[in-house]
Amino acid sequence: MCDNQITYYVEHGYGHKEVSTKCGTTDYYGEAATCDTCLENRQGVPHGYCKHGVRITQYDCDCFACEMGY
């Protein structure tokens, strides 16, 4: 991943707040934060995830679609 910052706007009271995180870390929603540049370079698949967006564990991918060969 790179050193780009990703900004999210999340609900906060009656408005929103700005939350920033570094590309490649966990975002506000608990998913992998990936900037637009890295998404374009990897065709939308962040590091550590299968092509369906499921986290790959140290043993295998727990993705039903991968297991079925899709």
pLDDT digits (tens, 9 = 90+) for 20-38: 998 878 888 887 788 888 7
Q: Residue 67: pLDDT band by 50, 70, 90 thresholds? A: confident
Into how many domains does the chain fold? Answer: 1
Residue with the bigger pLDDT between 34 and 60: it is 34
DSSP-derived pairing of the beta strands 5-12 and 15-22: antiparallel
Residue with the bigger pLDDT between 42 and 19: it is 19
> Is 44's pLDDT higher than 80?
no
Residue 63 lies in domain: 5-67
Contact, 49 vs 38, CB < 8 A?
no
> To which H or E segment does residue 66 belong?
helix 64-67
Instruction: Round to whole Å and give the CA distance between 68 and 70.
Output: 6
